[in-house]
A and B are shown apart, each in its own frame.
Chain A
Amino acid sequence: MDHGIIFIISACCIGLWMTWGIGANDLANIMSTAMGSKAVSVKQAMIIAIIFEAAGAFLGGNEVSDTIRSGIIDVSQFADKPQLLIYGMLSVLLAGALWMTVTSYLGMPVSITNAIVGALVGVGAIMLGLHAIHWQTVGYIAISWISSPTIAGVTAYLLFISIRRWILGVDNPLTAAKRYVPIYLFLVGIVLAMMTTLKAVHHFHLILGVIKTAAILAGTVVVVMIVGFIAMRHVFSKVHLRRHTQFVYIEGMFSVLMAFTACAMVFAHGSNDVAIAVGPVAGVISLVEAGSAHHDGMLNGIMLFGCLGVVLGLFMYGRKVIETVGGAITTLTPSRAFAATLAAASTVVVSTSTGIPVSATQTLVGAVFGVGLARGIDALNLTVIRNIFMSWIITIPAAAGIATLFFYLLRAVLG
C-alpha cells in the first residue's frame, strides 16, 4: 500500500497527542474526587493513576477499542477500498485531538468519547454514506450517554443515603461505622475484584472453572479487606469520642475506602478513554498491515503506546492539576467522594465490558450530582454541570464537521 508507513506513523503520533491530553487533563478529573477528599497523597495518586490506567487499558479496553475500530463504521463494506477508511480514521483522530486541545485550552469541559464517536459518525455518514454506520450501535451509545450519568447518579444517591442512614445519622456514629464500614469495604473489594480479576482472566483467555474464578475473586476481596483493615486500624481503637470528633474519624475510614475506589475509577477510565483514543490508531494500523480491520495481536502494543502517552501527559502537566485539586475541592468529604466514585466506576466498567464507550467524566458528574440530591454536598454549580452536558451536544457536530473537513483534505491531497 502507498504511504503505508506514513499513515501508521502519523496515526501513532496523533494517538500519542490524544493520550497525552488524557493524561494531562482527563485523568486529573478522575483523580480529583480522591484528591479533593484528601484520601491519597499526590505521590500515591500518581502511582495509582499509572498502574490502574494501564491495567484498565490492557485488561478492559479491548471491547471499547473494537467498537471504535469497527463497531460504528461498517468496515466490511470497505474491504475493497481500505484507503478511504484509513483517511476516515486519520480524520477522526485529527479531529478528536484538535477539538480536545482547543476546548481544553478554552476551559471547556469536553469528553474524548463524545469527540471520537461524533467524528466517526460524521465521517462515516457524510463521506462513506449512511449505510456505512451501524446505527444500532450508535443508538446504544447515545442511550448510554444519557443512562450512564443517570444510573451512576441514582446509585450514588442510594449509596450515600445508606451511609447517612446507617452511619452518619445515628446516635453513636463511630460505633455504627465500625459495624458498617466493613460492608462497604467488602463492596469495594467485590467491585475491584470483578474489574481486575475477571478482566484479566478474560484477557489472557484463561479457561478457569467457576470454582477457580470464584476463588480468585474471593482472594482479591480478602486482600482488599485486609489492606483496608490495616489502614483503618488506628480508627478501630477509638471509642467514646465527642460527636464532632467522631465524624473526623469516620471520614478517615471513608478515605481508606476512597483510596480503593480511586483505583477502580482509574481502571474504569483506562478501559474506556485510553481504549477510545487507541481505537482509530489500531484501525489504521490493521488496515495498512492486512488490508482489513481485523487484527488482534497488535492491539496490546498499541495499548502500551497509548499508556505511554497517558503517563507522559500525567507527568508533564497532569501532576500540576492533581496537586492543586486537593485544595480546590473543599466541599467533598471522603464519604461523599466514596459514594460518587464507586457508583461512577461500576457504571463505567459495566458499560465498557459490553463495548459501549461512555464518558467517565460525565458519569462521575452524574454521580456527584446524585450525592448532591441526597443533601450531601454543600454547593454544586448547576451552571457548570449544565455546561458539561451541553458541551457534549456541541462536541458531536463540531467533531463530525472537523473530521469531515480533514477527510476532504486528505482525499484531495493524497488522492
Chain B
Amino acid sequence: MPTTPFLNMFGRSPIRPLEAHMSKVHACVKELGPFFEAVLLQKWSEVELIQQDIMRLENEADDLKRDLRLHLPKGLFLPVSRSDLLELLAVQDRLANRAKDIAGVVLGRKMVLPDAVAPSFIDFLRRCIEASKQANTAINELDELLETGFSGSEIKVVESMITEIPRIERDTDDRQIKLRHIVFDLENSLPPVNVMFLYKIIEWTGGLADRAREIGDRLQILLAK
C-alpha cells in the first residue's frame, strides 16, 4: 500500500481500542452471573465451561491491552494525557483479573455456598456487576467525547454517568457488611477453611465494584483539564 509521510502523521486511535477492552472486561465480569447460578445448582461441568469462558475473555482483554500499549508510543500526541490513558487501561484490566480469580478459586475448591448465604450473595454479586456495567457505559462515551473535542455538554453527560458508579459501590459495601454478618453467624457450623474462602470470595466480589469505581475515578481524571 502506498503511504505518504503525511498519512503516517495520523497515528492509530487509542480511543476505540480502549472501549473495546472495557467491553471485553465487562463481558468477562458479566459471566460471573451464570457462573454462580451454576455453582448454586452444583453443576460442576457447566461451572467449568463458564470458568473457561471467563478465562478466554480475560485472555482476550489481555491481548487488547498489550496491543493498545504497543501502539501508544511516547511520540504520540493525544487529546488526553497518555499516562492517564495507560492508568485507565491498567485499572480496567484489573477488573477482569479479579473476575478470573473469583471463578478460578470457586471452581478449584468446588465451593458450595450455604443456603442462608446464597440469596444475599447473588444479590450482592448482581449489584457488583451493575457497577461494572455502569463503568462500561461511561467508557463507551469516549468516542462521543472525542467527537466533541472533550468539551461541552458531552462532558456533563459522562460526569453524571461517572457519579452513578460510587453510588452503586457504596450500596455494594452495605450489602457486603450484611453478608459478612450472615457468614459470621454461621461460622461455627462450617468447616473453618471453607469459611476462610467464603470471606475471601465475598471480599473479591466486592472488589469488582471497587475496581469499577476506580475506572470511573480514572476516567474523571482523564477528562479533567
Residue positions of A touching B, CB distance < 8 A: 25, 28-29, 32, 36, 107-109, 160, 164-165, 168-171, 173, 243-244, 247, 251, 317, 320-321, 324-325, 328-333, 361, 364-365, 368-369, 372, 374-385, 387-388, 391
Give the chain B neighbours of A324 by CB distance below 8 A.
1-3
Which residues of B are interface residues toward A (Cβ below 8 A)? 1-15, 73, 75-80, 144, 146-154, 157
A378 to B15 CA separation, bound complex (whole angstroms): 7
- Chain B interface SS verdict (over half): loop
Please tell me which one of the listed residues B13, B144, B149, B153 contacts residue A379 in the complex, with CB atoms under 8 A apart. Answer: B13
Complex contacts, B2 vs chain A, CB 8 Å: 317, 320-321, 324
- The reply to whether A109 and B11 form a contact with Cβ atoms under 8 Å apart is no
Can you list 26 A-B contacts with CB-CB less than 8 angstroms, sorted by A residue number?
A: A29-B6, A164-B152, A165-B152, A169-B152, A244-B144, A247-B144, A317-B2, A321-B2, A328-B10, A368-B9, A372-B79, A376-B79, A378-B13, A379-B10, A379-B11, A379-B13, A379-B77, A380-B10, A380-B11, A380-B77, A381-B9, A381-B75, A384-B8, A384-B9, A385-B77, A388-B9
B8 and A375 contacting across the interface, CB-CB below 8 Å:
no
Q: Is B149 within 8 A of A384, CB to CB?
A: no
Closest chain-A Cβ to B81's Cβ sits at a distance in Å of 11
Q: How far is the CB of A241 from chain B (nearest CB, A)?
A: 13
B151 and A164 within 8 A (CB): yes
Q: A380-B77, A381-B75 are in contact. Are A331 and B151 (CB under 8 A)?
A: no
Q: Cα distance A387–B75 when bound, in Å?
A: 12
Complex-state Cα separation, A244 to B137, whole angstroms: 13
Contacts of B76 in A (CB 8 A): 379-382
4 nearest interchain CB pairs? Answer: A169-B152, A109-B5, A379-B11, A375-B79
Residues on the A chain within 8 Å of B10, using CB? 36, 328-332, 377, 379-381
Residues of A within 8 A of B1 (CB): 324, 328
* A180 CA / B13 CA spacing, docked (Å): 29
| Contacts known (A379-B10, A380-B10, A380-B11); A169 close to B151, Cβ less than 8 A | yes
Q: Tell me the minimal C-beta distance from B149 to chain A in angstroms.
A: 4
Contact residues in B for A107 (Cβ distance below 8 Å): 3, 5
Total A-B residue pairs with C-beta atoms closer than 8 Å? 129
B152 touches A365 (CB 8 A): no
Are B6 and A365 in touch, CB under 8 angstroms? yes
Contacts of B4 in A (CB 8 A): 25, 28-29, 32, 109, 321
Report the bound CA distance from A31 to B7 in whole Å. 11
Contact B153 A381 (CB under 8 A): no
Residue contact A168 to B5, C-beta cutoff 8 Å: no
Q: Which residues on B sit within 8 Å (CB–CB) of A364?
A: 6
B144 touching A375, Cβ below 8 Å = no
User: Are A108's CB and B79's CB within 8 A?
Assistant: no
A365 touches B7 (CB 8 A): no
Closest Cβ neighbor of A374 among chain B residues:
B149
Q: Are A379 and B7 in contact (CB under 8 A)?
A: no
- Whether B78 pairs with A378 at a CB distance below 8 angstroms is yes
Cβ–Cβ contact A32 & B77, under 8 A: no
Chain B residues near A29 (CB-CB < 8 A): 4, 6-7
Q: Are B6 and A361 in contact (CB under 8 A)?
A: yes
Q: Would you call B7 and A329 a contact (CB within 8 A)?
A: yes
Chain A hits for B146, CB < 8 A: 378
Q: Across the interface, which residues of B come within 8 angstroms of A383, CB to CB?
A: 73, 75
Extra inter-chain contacts (16) besides given A169-B152, A329-B7, A385-B77, CB under 8 Å: A32-B6, A165-B152, A168-B154, A324-B2, A324-B3, A329-B10, A330-B10, A331-B10, A372-B77, A375-B150, A376-B149, A379-B10, A380-B9, A381-B8, A381-B76, A388-B9
Asked whether A382 lies within 8 Å of B75 as measured between CB atoms, the reply is yes
- What's the Cα separation between A330 and B15 when bound, in Å? 12
Contact A365–B151 (Cβ < 8 Å): no
Contact: B5 with A325, CB < 8 Å? Answer: no
Cβ contact within 8 Å between B13 and A330: yes
Using A109-B5, A375-B79, A382-B77 as known contacts, say yes or no to A168 and B11 having CB atoms under 8 A apart: no
Bound together, the chains give a CA A328 to CA B13 distance in angstroms of 12
Q: CA of A324 to CA of B154 in the docked complex: distance in angstroms?
A: 33
B152 and A168 contact, CB distance less than 8 A = yes
Residues in chain B near residue A320, CB distance under 8 A: 2
Chain A residue nearest to B79 in the complex (CB): A375
**Closest residue of B by beta carbon distance from A317:** B2
Q: Which residues of B contact A381 (CB under 8 A)?
A: 8-11, 75-77
